[in-house]
Structure 1
Amino acid sequence: MNSIKNLLSVYDFTKDEIYDILLRSFILKSEGAGGGNGCLKGKKIGLIFEKSSTRTRVSFEVGIVELGGHPIFMSSRDLQLGRGEPVKDTARVLKRYIDGAIVRTFEQERVETFARYFEKPTVNGLTDLYHPSQILTDIYTAYEAKNGSKNNTKKDIGDIVEGLKIVYIGDANNMANSWVNLQAMLGFELVLAMPDGFDIYETVASRSRERGGKFNILHDKISAAEDADVITTDVFISMGQDEEKEKIDKLRPFIVDESVIKSAKKDVVFLHCLPVHRNEEVAEDVFERFSPFVFEEAENRLHVQKAIIETVFRN
């Protein structure tokens, strides 16, 4: 019996598997909609979403179809989860109907519980703690933007990625956590810029240290951005959180504006996982100038997630 492959965080993949996914993403993107190995032919994949979504939902649904599968979307409003049914009960029912699942939910524990009782391949489509499919897309987009030679081998990818300085500016949220995770796996330079008093969860930091991860937290966005290859941010208030004026006021000085861009390398790339709040976490003129990269990043969700699907569901 084959062991079950999940993607609940990037730690579920090896470094080699991550580079395989990035290389496969390039191939799938070049092949277009007809590409892929048809690994989902005849398979039914559930999308269990307790949070709303544009990019995650559509890119996974399209990717499943392009790989020959049948997506079945289920929001919490459609399921008994919305009326308090335990996650483990929902998982034990759904495993009798579908072949795999993509779960977008709140606490990381919910997707881990689902995967444990579902006993079939499960992909984390976002939790409050991690967003693995997005972070793999972001590093692929960074590689793509910096790949001037147009060579595409695992070694090429590794040489470029591991030489990057990536700067994340903003809240200590699931994207910041995911950058910390990925840095521990791939070894690029990572600097987080956030207000004094903001910090990465100790569990996230300790898991990074266990894998040899290194990252710096600075409270000055200009010095953090110095010589950056990639600057990235996210909304100040994450999905499902209450609007906190005090929190936004503390984060407001950390807007990615022209002063941040000028501190970085001349060929810096700005990324944002979307949706964007213009003139809150990023100045509108900066966002629009780098929007070709941002919307390429959005498209790349499809290609990277197809590569993830092939890896997770190939058994």
Structure 2
Amino acid sequence: MPVRHFLTLNDLSLEELDALLDHASKLKRSLRAGEVRDSLKNRVLAMIFEKSSTRTRVSFEAGMTQLGGAALFLSPRDTQLGRGEPIEDSGRVISSMADAVMIRTFDHQTVTRFASVSKAPVINALTDDYHPCQLLADMQTYREHRGNIKGATVTWVGDGNNMCNSYINAAQQFDFQLRIACPPGYEPRADLLAEAGDRVQVIYDPMEAARGSNLLVTDVWASMGQEDEQAARARTFASYQVNPALMGVAAKGALFMHCLPAHRGEEISHDMLEHPGSVVWEEAENRLHAQKALLEFLILGRLD
């Protein structure tokens, strides 16, 4: 059987994604019931971090431990990756010693080049272009609170960044309408918009974009590597804050998500994480459960 990778949501079919999310919720219930699971006993996940992380590292490392396996933390400071070894050389060696490889980095080409030579499944744990693991957690969270997201309206508020790109993928895979509210000049990639067709709309007025929406989602205004743009972006995005007023024009029972870390007083108001529609903390926890399901699927080739 050929090696399967998870570099974007498009690497899995809708049927596989649905099964994976169902399994994630099953694993969540199992963990809370105190059941012990050793499905990945003696399996090893290599975790390559070129970008800092809290939720990604904790969720993958804890997930492997809870499934009976082990996780190795690798950073450029501690490996030859930081001394100029070609990514393909590292890929061949690391994948020959690990059962799966998780990479969190800047350039998306790093994960695609690694995957092109890898003997083990490769997971994109965030690049500048995509963040598919977060979308698994987001879709699981919506499903647990509101059921199937098919036919729903989702509004993305903020920069057309990697999270926005993955929401475009999700709109096509899960069959929902996506509205993107961003300042002119901060739209997501044109090729992704063209591919999505009428599944996705760019609406520059956040109030108009949020009206009647079932889910509002945002992210920080300046991502990692854009810190020098923080002040300028804060001025440009000032009217794109998610707050109770914006939630007030959304559909009744609308949910709010944020991938974290959050900057209170910037992309969200100070009270937004405690808003009745906020499911942010469950969304964060679901990184653990969704990724455990993903690890079983990629390493074992099945979900049971």
Following superposition, the deviation at residue 66 of structure 1 comes to 1.2
Provide, for residues 119-158 of structure 1, a one-character-per-residue CA deviation record: whole Å limited to 9, x for no partner: 21111110000001101111111121214xxxxxxxxxxx
Distance 2:11 2:37 in 1: 22
| 2:57 paired residue number | 57
Alignment of 1:270 onto 2:260? no
Note the C-alpha offset of 1:287.
Answer: 2.3
2:207 to 200, 222, 225: 222
8 A contact 1:141–1:296 mirrored in 2? yes
- CA distance 1:294–1:85, shift in 2 (3 Å): same
Q: Which residue type is aligned with residue 201 of structure 2? A: N
Return closer, same or farther for 1:312/1:208 CA change in 2, 3 Å cut-off.
Answer: farther
Q: Name the counterpart of 1:157.
A: none
Report the identity percentage.
38
Aligned partner of residue 17 in structure 1, secondary structure: helix
Confirm or deny that 1:195 pairs with 2:183.
Answer: yes
Alignment of 1:113-262 (within 5 A): 113-147=113-147, 160-209=148-197, 214-244=199-229, 245-262=231-248
Relative to structure 1, is the Cα distance of residues 36 and 310 closer, same or farther in structure 2, using a 3 angstrom cutoff? farther
Q: CA deviation at 1:37?
A: 5.9
Are positions 1:23 and 2:22 aligned together? Answer: yes
Cα distance in 1, alignment partners of residues 245 and 278 from structure 2: 20
Shift of 1:290: 4.8
Pairwise CA RMSD of aligned residues?
A: 1.7
Shift of 1:253: 1.0
1:300 to partner: Cα distance: 0.7
- Residue 69 of structure 1: how far off its partner (Å): 1.1
Distance in 2 (CA, whole Å) between partners of 1:238 and 1:204 is 20
> Where does the alignment leave 5 or more consecutive residues of structure 1 unmatched?
148-159
Aligned equivalents of 2:174 and 2:259: distance in 1? 20
C-alpha separation in 1, matches of 2:118 and 2:21: 27
Is the 2:254–2:277 Cα contact (8 Å) retained in structure 1?
no
Checking the alignment, whether the CA contact within 8 Å between 1:125 and 1:133 is kept in structure 2 is yes
1:198 is paired with a residue whose SS is: coil
**SS in structure 2 at match of 1:140:** helix
TM-score by length of 2: 0.94
- Are the equivalent residues in 1 in contact too, given 2:41–2:67 (CA < 8 A)? yes
Residues of 1 paired with 2:88 and 2:220: CA distance?
A: 31
Range that drifts further, 257-266 or 291-300 = 291-300
> Amino acid of the residue matched to residue 210 of structure 2?
A
Confirm or deny: 8 A CA contact 1:39 1:313 kept in the other structure: no
Quick one: distance in 1 between partners of 2:191 and 2:118?
25
Q: Give the aligned length.
A: 299
Name the SS for the 1:312 alignment partner: helix
Distance 2:44 2:17 in 1: 25
Distance 1:169 1:305 in 2: 25
Q: Distance in 2 between matches of 1:286 and 1:264?
A: 14
Equivalent-residue separation in structure 1 for 2:84 and 2:107 (angstroms): 15
Structure 1 partner of 2:266: 280
